[in-house]
């Protein structure tokens, strides 16, 4: 659970009532998550999630909140931010940017089957298409420039061998980003952090995607790589699970066919996804922030996934 900023019952009650969301009945810190402060809040009108943003600014947040609103309006099951009387969906609480969204039904599938992976693949493709006419633009703030600037910081916490791998991969991704094939990749708003704990299921059916606060304008292929690295690898080995990955990719392609460049660059995208989360986990682990309860994720897991991606590149066959 991550609660960086404590909110009392009375503070939450006044805040929700000002948004016309009813009388607060219950408030509870949300288990899971490492980025923001999340509370489950139940009122006499419904169940909501109250988020206080800990790293993102008032300038950055409209991109994410309006993206969720846009996708919800296109029928993609994502939380829809609640508007205040003036129509704003970005609010302020305890001097922090804040938002309230509807609570999605269901639970996370932490041991997904091929069917769950197919559900995610299909909805991801639908989300990519729905985002194409989203008018706002903000880069993926955890993209290549961030990896380049953060790698020197985390390198101090790695062994010489790990450092060599990390720097080698970084050089490889900078090289790929300059290639003509990379420049042709289809792009749009992507989720960029669609892990098992950011998707809800009920009775085996997908009920929603949430946690859009790493979203940004980037290649659809990067989003696919991030998903395959989480949904379609074995834990704890980090080994590729071909059955789940094939189900994911077939379902994705039933909605949007991958281009030739995407098929060629899939192995590079899988390495990119592993590198991104290895760097961020090293960063979170070795430079932790103050929180009431915060469970840092294991950086070693993405080092293993990266090594697996290098040792056994996954090429598309169908
Ligand atoms: N809209 C939502 N509906 C249902 N549960 C949610 C919703 N948003 C967040 N949660 C719950 O809160 C937890 C933390 O949220 P998350 O967005 O992952 O936090 P963080 O931004 O800190 O990573 C999730 O694991 C989930 O259980
Ligand atoms: N999914 C990332 C970390 C971001 O945490 P989240 O709870 O916002 O998904 C990871 O696993 O490293």
| Residue corresponding to tokens 């810190």 | 29
Distance CA 211, CA 32 (A): 11
Supply the pLDDT for residue 202: 97
Q: Where are the alpha helices (DSSP H) in 242-296?
A: 242-253, 260-286
Supply the pLDDT for residue 48: 97
Give 185's contacts (C-beta < 8 A, 6+ positions apart). 219, 220, 221, 259, 261, 262, 265
Supply the pLDDT for residue 1: 47
Domain edges within the chain: 9-102, 114-311
Structure token pair of residue 57 = 């600014």
Distance CA 178, CA 184 (A): 11
Residues in the chain: 318
- Choose which residue among 38, 104, 106, 193 to substitute to test ligand 1 binding: the one with the highest number of ligand atoms within 8 A of its C-beta: 38
Is residue 220 lining ligand 2, measured as CB closer than 6 Å? no
The ligand whose atoms approach the alpha carbon of 279 most closely is 2
Is residue 299 lining ligand 2, measured as CB closer than 6 Å? no
ipTM value: 0.94
Question: For the segment 160-196, what is each residue's pLDDT rounded down to a tens digit?
Answer: 999 999 999 999 999 999 999 999 999 999 999 999 9
DSSP conformation letters of 83-125: P-TTS-S-EEETTEEEEEEEPPSSB--SS--HHHHHHHHHHHH
Is pLDDT of 97 > 50? yes
3-state helix, strand, coil in the chain (%, to 5): 45, 15, 40
Is residue 195 lining ligand 2, measured as CB closer than 6 Å? yes
Give 311's contacts (C-beta < 8 A, 6+ positions apart). none
The ligand whose atoms approach the alpha carbon of 214 most closely is 2
Look up the pTM and report it: 0.94
Kindly tell me the sign of the dihedral angle through the C-alpha atoms of 309, 233, 122, 38: negative
The residue among 293 and 107 whose pLDDT is bigger is 107
Is residue 284 lining ligand 1, measured as CB closer than 6 Å? no
**Ligand 1 mean position to 290 CA, how many Å?**
19
Is residue 37 lining ligand 1, measured as CB closer than 6 Å? no
| Cβ neighbour number for residue 181 with a 10 Å cutoff | 14
Question: For the segment 111-124, what is each residue's pLDDT rounded down to a tens digit?
Answer: 999 999 999 999 99
Is pLDDT of 288 > 80? no
How much is the average pLDDT of 280-298? 78
**Ligand 2 mean position to 262 CA, how many Å?**
25
> Taking a C-beta distance cutoff of 8 angstroms, is the pair 99, 62 a contact?
no
- Choose which residue among 49, 77, 294 to substitute to test ligand 1 binding: the one with the highest number of ligand atoms within 8 A of its C-beta: 49
Supply the pLDDT for residue 223: 98
Is pLDDT of 209 > 80? yes
Supply the pLDDT for residue 259: 97
- Ligand 1: which atom is nearest the Cα of residue 103? 3
Question: For the segment 59-70, what is each residue's pLDDT rounded down to a tens digit?
Answer: 999 999 999 999
Supply the pLDDT for residue 111: 97
Is pLDDT of 203 > 50? yes
Fold of 114-311: Aminoglycoside 3'-phosphotransferase; Chain: A, domain 2 (3.90.1200)
Is pLDDT of 33 > 70? no
Is residue 300 lining ligand 2, measured as CB closer than 6 Å? no
Is pLDDT of 53 > 60? yes
- % of the chain exceeding 90 in pLDDT: 89
Q: Which CATH class is domain 9-102?
A: alpha beta
The helix (run of H) or strand (run of E) holding residue 161 is: helix 160-177
Supply the pLDDT for residue 55: 87
- Ligand 2: which atom is nearest the Cα of residue 33? 7
Is residue 35 lining ligand 1, measured as CB closer than 6 Å? yes
Is residue 169 lining ligand 2, measured as CB closer than 6 Å? no
Is residue 281 lining ligand 2, measured as CB closer than 6 Å? yes
């Amino acid at each position: 659970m991550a609660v960086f900023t404590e909110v009392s019952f009375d503070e939450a009650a006044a805040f929700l009532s000002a948004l016309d969301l009813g009388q607060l009945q219950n408030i509870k810190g949300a288990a899971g998550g490492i980025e923001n402060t999340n509370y489950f809040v139940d009122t006499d009108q419904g169940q909501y999630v109250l988020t206080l943003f800990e790293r993102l600014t008032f300038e950055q947040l409209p991109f994410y909140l309006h993206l969720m609103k846009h996708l919800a309006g296109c029928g993609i099951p994502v939380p829809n931010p609640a508007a205040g009387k003036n129509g704003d969906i970005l609010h302020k609480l305890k001097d922090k940017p804040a938002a309230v969204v509807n609570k999605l039904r269901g639970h996370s599938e932490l041991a997904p089957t091929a069917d769950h992976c197919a559900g995610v693949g299909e909805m991801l493709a639908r989300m990519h298409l729905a985002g194409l006419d989203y008018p706002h633009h903000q880069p993926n703030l955890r993209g290549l420039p961030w990896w380049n600037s953060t790698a020197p910081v985390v390198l101090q916490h790695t062994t010489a061998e790990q450092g060599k791998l990390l720097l080698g991969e970084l050089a490889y991704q900078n090289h790929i980003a300059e290639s003509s094939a990379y420049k042709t990749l289809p792009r749009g708003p992507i989720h960029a952090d669609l892990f098992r704990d950011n998707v809800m299921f009920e009775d085996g059916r997908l009920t929603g995607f949430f946690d859009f606060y790493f979203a940004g304008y980037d290649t659809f292929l990067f989003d696919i790589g991030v998903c395959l690295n989480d949904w379609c690898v074995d834990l704890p080995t980090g080994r590729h699970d071909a059955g789940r990955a094939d189900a994911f990719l077939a379902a994705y392609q039933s909605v949007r066919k991958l281009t030739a460049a995407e098929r060629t660059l899939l192995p590079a995208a899988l390495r990119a996804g592993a590198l991104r989360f290895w760097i961020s986990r090293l960063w979170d682990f070795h430079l932790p922030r103050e929180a009431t309860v915060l469970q840092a994720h294991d950086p070693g897991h993405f080092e293993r996934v990266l090594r697996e991606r290098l040792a056994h590149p996954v090429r598309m066959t169908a």
